């Protein structure tokens, strides 16, 4: 077992040396970015959360991340290695489970296959759930097996422990409840040697353990949102995305502009009630499925086949995209197309075995696999949804390897012929180019995510290059919009406007793109066109829900107030303050107007949301702008404490310290920032302020010596 763990860690260490510094991993994007920000809020003191967004996903993985951040700071590398350790321990647990039924040699083979399974390391390298969920699933399964003693008696403690492990797994990803339910039902009906009363008591212990974990989550969700949400409220939107008209069944929830377009369909009163929102999406799904039953059945078949395909269907980051840049993720290291054919032959041998224990582990593995297969068919099929089923395919695959070796050694021709047929047929199925991948669309998403990661790291030129690479593959609205934003900041207003126009041809009602086009038009002196665009954005509120984009809406109203006739200016300004006071307070700060009103808004936000680093920083900026440097300092310090990775906060704290006359501390902060920042505009600002502080210190020293 020690050797198995060491092998798993060596392979993970090898992968880390190649992919560990990838911007896509060091600056988390999409779901990983959401988990990262949520965990930061928890670590900063927002323990329960706030509002409907904090019950959208299951909460236990963000809490796990928050504990890591409290122990090691906001250190992505530390979390990656914690994931790797969990992955190594999962290989050990899998070996123990295999050995319990199939013996030591099969256990070793299974452990080696698990240790070198490349997609597992890919997911463990991200701030995503599979590493923790798989570990808990295997731990719970081992306890479940231990709770039934030789098929004649039960152990209540192990049953309760299994339930707790499965409950934690469900709190990380609720999809584990389907296979767990199938397994518990099978074990209750199978164990005929045990009287019904102990069997039902055993099942009650398992279910009770699950409920002991899920109940506090449900209570927490009720406190946060005021709704009954057992674990998470994202089931409805996931069901809709995987089964709506035109869906391919392979794509996860859209991101960026397309996500905003989707959410704008839902009334705000529904969005504010997570349980109602989930039901709303489920109802829409049923309406669209009923309208086109033939299309729906075809899509279900596509999802069923996709589970067997050798492709690792992308969710956030494409496995194939990362494979191109990381040789340890490629052959000869273990891939899905190697495992599935071996597993199918292993199932054939296990179910034909005369040994009861072999058949039992075969059924156990099959139920786990079918359960996760079913989840993918119900929602949508991606590699991340398939990943928790892999350990339970590795067990029959390991048994298959040993059975084939035995057949070769004994020269059992008929056995080898049957094996060749089964493995050959399944291998052919895994390599069929159907469902056909849209490689361009997948590449676009990866390059857009890469550009966002580069932007988060302050690498502006690399981000622009990534967005241009995305557009070389396909006409994508997010790539056009994000590239246009970069060009707009650089003053290339004409080219920026052309990118916004191209984005609007694809998504003509995107508030963000409309606002960006208006900004470009106004900078180009196209006053009437800019006004028309802003009015078009405001008109969207008549038939779309703009509340999720209220910041954009408020900015548009403010710009209109600056451009419209004086008669309408006050009315538009008041509407903007009503739509989003926080955004208007930021604008007031930027324009040096209505600072007292802005101060009240930021103070109220800081009192209501003490974890909100952005509000703390803005309050500090207001005080600094009013010449109250000493009043600004505690708010900048708190903002830095809440979000230590944000280098811009360190710079603003240093500014406040200089203004307050505390130049020694400011110099230290600026010098530390210089050591971390890449070449970017912020680094130039830091260097300028540091030079100013040093020159001031020298000037004062000379003045003192002269006196």
Residue 581 lies in a domain: no
Computed over every residue of the chain, the mean pLDDT equals 90
Residues 572-627: tens digit of each pLDDT: 999 999 999 999 999 988 888 888 898 999 999 888 877 788 899 999 999 998 88
Q: What is the 3-state secondary structure (H, E, C) of 378-401?
A: HCCCCHHHHHHHCHHHHHHHHHHH
Taking the model in full, what pTM does it have?
Answer: 0.90
Phi, psi values for residue 317, rounded to 5°: -115, 135
Is pLDDT of 30 > 80?
yes
Residue 365 has pLDDT above 90, yes or no: yes
Angle among Cα 546, 549, 552 to the nearest 5 degrees reads 110
**Phi-psi region at 525: left, alpha or beta (left = phi > 0; alpha = psi -120 to 50):** left
- pLDDT category of residue 703 using cuts at 50, 70 and 90: low
Helical (H) or strand (E) element with 14 = helix 2-19
Checking if the pLDDT of 698 tops 80, the result is no
Spatial separation of the C-alpha atoms in residues 249 and 354, rounded to whole Å: 40
SS3 230: coil
Nearest alpha carbon to residue 61 among 168, 162, 216, 167: 168
* Number of compact structural domains in the chain: 1
- The more confident residue out of 257 and 369 is 369
Pair of tokens at residue 117: 């399974």
Mapped onto helix, strand or coil, the DSSP state of residue 184 is helix
Which 3 state secondary structure label does DSSP give 352? Answer: coil
Bridge partner list, 148: 154
Q: What is the predicted pLDDT for the residue at 151? A: 58
Strand partners, 153: 149
Indicate whether 44 pLDDT > 90.
Answer: no
Domain presence at residue 251: yes
Range of the structural domain that residue 32 is part of? 2-431
Of the candidates 557, 556, 546, 554, the one whose C-alpha atom is nearest the C-alpha of residue 260 is: 546
Q: For residue 611, tell me if it sits in a domain.
A: no
Q: What's residue 152's pLDDT?
A: 65
- Confidence class for position 702, pLDDT limits 50, 70, 90: low
How many angstroms separate the CA atoms of 512 and 497, rounded? 13
What are the contacts of 525-533 at 24+ separation with CB within 8 A? 527/563, 530/559, 530/563, 531/560, 531/563, 531/564
Whose tokens are 């996500």? That residue is: 259
Query: Is 200 a domain residue?
Result: yes
Q: What is the pLDDT of residue 59?
A: 95
In a domain, 329, yes or no: yes
Spatial contact of 205 and 187, defined as CB atoms under 8 Å apart: no
Q: 116-120, 303-307, 445-449, 610-614 — which is least confidently predicted?
A: 610-614
Instruction: Find out whether 132 and 164 touch, Cβ atoms under 8 Å.
Output: no
pLDDT digits (tens, 9 = 90+) for 281-306: 999 999 999 999 999 999 999 999 99
As given in the structure block, the two tokens for residue 204 are 């009650």
Within a 10 A sphere around the Cβ of 705, how many other Cβ atoms? 7
SS3 content of the chain, % helix, strand, coil (to 5): 80, 0, 20
pLDDT value, residue 355: 80
CA dist., res. 650 & res. 108, Å (int): 51
Say if residue 501's pLDDT is above 90: yes
Per residue in 137-186, pLDDT (tens digit) is: 999 999 999 988 765 678 889 999 999 999 999 999 999 999 999 999 99
Cα–Cα distance measured from residue 135 to residue 388, given in angstroms and rounded to the nearest whole number: 9
Q: Using 50, 70 and 90 to split pLDDT, how confident is the model at 674? A: confident
User: What's the distance, CA 535 to chain centroid?
Assistant: 35
Two tokens, residue 659: 């203004």
Whose tokens are 């209220």? That residue is 550
- Mean pLDDT comparison of 45-49, 180-184, 454-458, highest-scoring range: 180-184
* Residue 346 predicted with pLDDT over 80: yes
The residue-averaged pLDDT of 687-691 equals: 85
At residue 102 the predicted structure's pLDDT band, cuts being 50, 70 and 90, is very high
Q: What is the pLDDT of residue 707?
A: 62
Q: What is the largest CA-CA distance in the chain?
A: 103
Contact criterion met (CB below 8 Å) for 253 and 57: no
Is residue 394 within 8 Å of residue 385, measured between CB atoms?
no
Of 74-88, 266-280, 468-482, 516-530, least confident by mean pLDDT is 266-280
pLDDT over 70 percentage in the chain: 97
> Is residue 546 one of the residues assigned to a domain?
no
Q: How far apart are CA 21 and CA 19, in angstroms?
A: 6
177-181, 387-391, 425-429, 433-437: the lowest-pLDDT one: 433-437
- How many CA atoms lie less than 13 Å away from 452 in the CB half-sphere? 23
H/E segment holding residue 120 = helix 118-124
Q: Which helix (H) or strand (E) holds 149?
A: strand 148-149
Please, which residues bridge with residue 334 across strands?
117
Beta partners for residue 117, in sequence order: 334
Lowest mean pLDDT among 10-24, 112-126, 448-462, 691-705: 691-705
- State the Cα–Cα distance between residues 605 and 621, nearest whole angstrom: 14
541 part of a folded domain? no
Model confidence at 11: pLDDT above 90 = yes
Confidence at residue 327, expressed as pLDDT on a 0 to 100 scale: 92
Q: Does a structural domain hold residue 164?
A: yes
637-665 average pLDDT score: 86
Does pLDDT of 667 surpass 90?
Answer: no
Own/partner pairs, 471-474, CB within 8 angstroms, 24+ separation: 473/440, 473/443, 473/444, 473/447, 474/440, 474/441, 474/443, 474/444
Which residue's structure tokens are 């967005």? Answer: 467
Q: Nearest CA to 495 among 504, 503, 485, 487?
A: 487
Measured CA angle at 505 (ends 503, 507), to 5 deg: 65
């Amino acid at each position: 077992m020690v050797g198995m763990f060491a092998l798993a860690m060596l392979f993970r260490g090898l992968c880390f040396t190649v992919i560990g510094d990838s911007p896509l991993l060091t600056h988390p994007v999409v779901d990983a970015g959401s988990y990262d920000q949520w965990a930061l809020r928890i670590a900063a003191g927002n323990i329960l959360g706030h509002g409907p967004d904090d019950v959208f996903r299951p909460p236990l993985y963000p809490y796990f991340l928050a504990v890591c951040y409290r122990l090691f700071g906001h250190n992505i590398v530390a979390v990656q290695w914690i994931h790797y350790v969990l992955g190594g321990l999962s290989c050990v647990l899998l070996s123990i489970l295999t050995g319990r039924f199939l013996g030591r040699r099969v256990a070793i083979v299974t452990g080696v296959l698990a240790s070198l399974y490349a997609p597992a390391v890919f997911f463990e390298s991200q701030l995503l759930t599979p590493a923790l969920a798989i570990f808990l699933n295997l731990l719970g399964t081992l306890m479940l097996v231990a709770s039934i003693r030789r098929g004649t008696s039960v152990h209540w403690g192990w049953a309760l422990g299994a339930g707790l492990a499965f409950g934690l797994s469900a709190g990380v990803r609720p999809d584990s409840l389907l296979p767990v339910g199938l397994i518990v039902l099978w074990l209750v009906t199978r164990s005929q040697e045990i009287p019904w009363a102990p069997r039902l008591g055993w099942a009650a212990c398992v279910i009770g353990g699950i409920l002991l974990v899920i109940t506090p989550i449900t209570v927490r969700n009720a406190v946060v949102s005021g709704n009954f949400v057992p674990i998470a409220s994202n089931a409805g939107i996931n069901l809709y995305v995987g089964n709506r008209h035109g869906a391919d069944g392979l794509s996860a929830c859209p991101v960026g502009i397309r996500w905003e377009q989707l959410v704008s369909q839902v009334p705000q009163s529904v969005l504010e009630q997570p349980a109602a929102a989930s039901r709303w999406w489920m109802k829409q799904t049923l309406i669209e499925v009923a309208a086109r039953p033939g299309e729906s059945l075809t899509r279900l078949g596509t999802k069923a086949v996709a589970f067997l395909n050798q492709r690792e269907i992308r969710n956030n980051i494409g496995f194939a995209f990362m494979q191109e840049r990381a040789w340890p993720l490629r052959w000869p290291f273990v891939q899905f197309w190697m495992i599935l054919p071996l597993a199918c032959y292993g199932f054939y041998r296990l179910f034909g075995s005369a040994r009861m224990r072999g058949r039992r582990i075969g059924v156990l593995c099959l139920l786990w696999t079918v359960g996760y297969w079913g989840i993918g068919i119900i929602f949508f099929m991606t590699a991340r949804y398939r990943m928790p089923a892999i350990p339970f395919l590795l067990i029959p695959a390991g048994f298959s390897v040993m059975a084939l070796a035995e057949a070769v050694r004994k020269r059992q021709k008929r056995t080898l012929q049957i094996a060749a047929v089964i493995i050959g047929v399944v291998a052919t199925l895994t390599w069929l180019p159907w469902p056909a991948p849209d490689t361009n669309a997948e590449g676009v998403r990866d390059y857009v995510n890469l550009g966002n990661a580069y932007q988060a790291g302050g690498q502006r030129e690399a981000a622009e290059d990534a967005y241009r690479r995305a557009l070389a593959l396909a006409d994508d609205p997010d790539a056009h919009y994000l590239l246009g934003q970069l060009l707009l900041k650089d003053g290339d207003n004409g080219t920026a406007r052309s990118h916004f126009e191209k984005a609007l041809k694809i998504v003509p009602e995107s508030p963000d793109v409309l606002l960006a086009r208006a900004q470009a038009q106004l900078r180009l002196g196209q006053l009437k066109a800019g006004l028309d665009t802003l009015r078009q954005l405001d008109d969207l509120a008549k038939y779309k829900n703009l509340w999720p984009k209220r910041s954009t809406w408020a900015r548009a109203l403010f710009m209109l107030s600056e451009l419209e006739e004086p008669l309408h200016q006050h009315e538009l300004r008041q509407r903007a303050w009503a739509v989003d006071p926080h955004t208007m307070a930021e604008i007031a700060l930027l324009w040096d107007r209505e600072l007292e009103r802005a101060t009240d808004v930021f103070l109220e936000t800081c009192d209501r949301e003490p974890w909100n680093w952005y509000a703390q920083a803005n309050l500090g900026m207001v005080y600094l702008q009013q010449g109250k440097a000493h009043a600004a300092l505690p708010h900048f310090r708190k903002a830095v404490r809440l979000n230590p990775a944000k280098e811009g906060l360190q710079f603003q704290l240093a500014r406040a310290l200089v203004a307050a006359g505390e130049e020694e501390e400011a110099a230290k902060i600026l010098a530390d920032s210089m050591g971390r920042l890449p070449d970017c505009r912020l680094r130039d600002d830091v260097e300028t302020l540091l030079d100013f502080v040093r020159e001031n210190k020298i000037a004062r020293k000379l003045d003192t010596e002269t006196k």
